[in-house]
Amino acid sequence: MFEIKCRDGMGRLGELQTPHGVIETPALLPVVNPKKLTLSVDELEECGATSLITNSYLIWKEKEFRERATKEGVHGLLDWDKPIMTDSGTFQAYMYGEVEVLPEEIIEFQKKIGTDIGTMLDVFTIPKTNFSDAEKELEETNKRMKVAAEMKGEMALNGTIQGGLHMDLRSRAAKMASEIDVDVHPIGGVVPLMEKYEFSSLVDIVMNVKMNLVASRPVHLFGCGHP
């Protein structure tokens, strides 16, 4: 459940309730690689972190981590008792061309390991994708989102907004996602823009999405902390 405490234009202060505590928004969620902790969870907490993101696909793919997470939960695996959001492998599919897990399979796994906020396996649309291909990828993402929403159970679910640099597709994606029973809306496919410092395009995407999303749900920007 998301409760908006204060609003000024499109800016909001809110509280997102999870089984492991409240996430006060806006919030920066450090990304933790389960295979290599650059900072310990204690050090992250000292830095002010109140919630984390980790990758359920990397956990699923590694037998040792998969077995531990299944037995102890993702919170036990990371030794973190506060909220955890898990990503699904979409970024790995973008980086390496494909992943070995099915969209339904990764949703079930995230439920099994007790993540607070799970993520659907959407289709990462890179900025240079032409309109026709981006539209097809958006249709696939929307189809997967509907299936994931039916499967989520008690787990909160990220419904990712794609569309590349095509603002009409971003707007359409936001409107369609608003009608699906998901809980948080990450804006995806933007890391390549940040790597090239194309912040004007990033702002255009965020504005087009926020103007067309249901106003009662929190919005997340995937990769916003990219160096």
Active-site residue (options: 87, 116, 122, 183): 87
Structure-token pair, residue 53: 């993101």
The SS3 call for residue 181 is coil
Q: Give φ, ψ of 28 to 5 degrees.
A: -105, 120
In angstroms, how far is the first alpha carbon of the chain from the final one?
A: 31
Q: C-alpha angle 86/134/143, rounded to 5°? A: 55
Active site residue 87: yes
Does residue 223 contact residue 191 with C-beta atoms inside 8 Å? yes
Contacts of 105 (CB under 8 A, 6+ apart): none
Q: Is the peptide bond before 34 cis (omega within 30 degrees of 0)?
A: no
Q: Tell me how far apart the alpha carbons of residues 2 and 112 are, in angstroms, rounded to a whole number.
A: 23
Structure-token pair, residue 44: 């992250």
CA distances from 104 to 35, 75, 140, 151, 176 (A): 24, 22, 13, 8, 20
Active-site residues, by number, are: 87
